[in-house]
Structure 1
Amino acid sequence: MGKMPGWRFFPRSGFVQQAIMAHMIPIDLDINMLRCFKAVAETGSFTKAGNNIGLTQAGVSTKIRRLEERLDAKVFNRTSKKLSLTHEGEILLTHAQRILSAHDEAVSQLTTPKAFGLLRVGLIDYVLPELLPGILSQFRKRYPNISLEVQMDLGTGLIPAFEKGDLDLVVAGKDLYQGSCRVLIQEPLVWATGQGAEFDMHETLPLIALPSPCHFRKIATEALEQKNRKWKIGFTVTSISSVQTAVQAGLGLSVLPIGALKEGLNKAPSKLELPELPMFSIAIFADEQKKNNARDVFISYLEAEVGKQKSCR
Structure 2
Amino acid sequence: MIDRPLDLDAVRAFILIVELGSFTLAAEATETTQAAVSLKLKRLEERLDCRLVERTPRHVQLSAQGAAFLEHARELLKVHDRAFSVFTEQQERLVIGISDHVAGPELPALIARMNQQDRQLLIEVRIGSSSDLLRSFDRRELDAVIARFDAGRDDGKIIATEKFGWFAAEGWQHRTGDPLPVATMPEPCGVRRLAEKYLDEAGIPWTEVFVGGGVMAVSAAVMAKLGVAALARRMLPLGANDVGIRLGLPELPSLPILLHTRVRDGRSHTALSELSVAFKGAVRD
Give me the identity figure in percent.
20
In 1: Cα distance, 2:12 partner to 2:139 partner? 46
Query: What residue in structure 2 maps to residue 307 of structure 1?
Result: 277
1:306 is displaced (CA, Å) by 4.8
Is there any run of 5+ residues in structure 1 with no aligned partner, and where?
A: 1-23
1:37 is displaced (CA, Å) by 12
After TM superposition, the structure 1 = structure 2 runs for residues 157-306 of structure 1, keeping only pairs within 5 Å, are 157-175=132-150, 178-199=153-174, 203-268=178-243, 270-288=245-263, 297-306=267-276
In 1: Cα distance, 2:11 partner to 2:136 partner? 45
User: Residues 274-312 of structure 1, C-alpha deviation per residue, up to 9 Å, x if partnerless?
Assistant: 211111222221235xx7x6xx53343243245357568
In 1: Cα distance, 2:159 partner to 2:203 partner? 34
In 1: Cα distance, 2:280 partner to 2:192 partner? 28
Q: Is residue 191–residue 254 contact of structure 1 (8 Å, CA) maintained in 2? A: yes
CA RMSD of the aligned region, Å? 4.5
Question: Helix, strand or coil: the match of 1:298?
Answer: helix
Query: What residue in structure 2 maps to residue 150 of structure 1?
Result: 125
Question: Helix, strand or coil: the match of 1:138?
Answer: helix
Q: Is residue 11–residue 73 contact of structure 2 (8 Å, CA) maintained in 1? A: no
Flag the 1:77–1:148 CA change in 2: closer, same or farther, 3 A.
closer
Is there any run of 5+ residues in structure 2 with no aligned partner, and where?
A: 28-32
1:249 is displaced (CA, Å) by 0.6
Between 1:193-202 and 1:206-215, the stretch displaced more is: 193-202
Residue 94 (structure 1) aligned with residue 67 (structure 2): yes
Structure with more relative contact order (C-alpha pairs < 8 Å, separation 6 or more)? 2
User: Residues 193-213 of structure 1, C-alpha deviation per residue, up to 9 Å, x if partnerless?
Assistant: 123222257542111112222
In 1: Cα distance, 2:188 partner to 2:241 partner? 25
In 2: Cα distance, 1:224 partner to 1:167 partner? 35
Q: Is residue 117–residue 147 contact of structure 1 (8 Å, CA) maintained in 2? A: yes
Q: Is residue 187–residue 259 contact of structure 1 (8 Å, CA) maintained in 2? A: no
Question: Helix, strand or coil: the match of 1:247?
Answer: helix
In 2: Cα distance, 1:72 partner to 1:287 partner? 42
Could you tell me the TM-score, scaled by structure 2's length?
A: 0.70
1:130 is displaced (CA, Å) by 2.1
Flag the 1:163–1:218 CA change in 2: closer, same or farther, 3 A.
same
> How many residue pairs are counted as aligned between the two chains?
273
In 1: Cα distance, 2:76 partner to 2:10 partner? 11
Letter in 1 for 2:131: T
Could you tell me the TM-score, scaled by structure 1's length?
A: 0.65
Flag the 1:35–1:214 CA change in 2: closer, same or farther, 3 A.
closer
Q: Is residue 38–residue 93 contact of structure 1 (8 Å, CA) maintained in 2? A: no
Flag the 1:118–1:224 CA change in 2: closer, same or farther, 3 A.
same
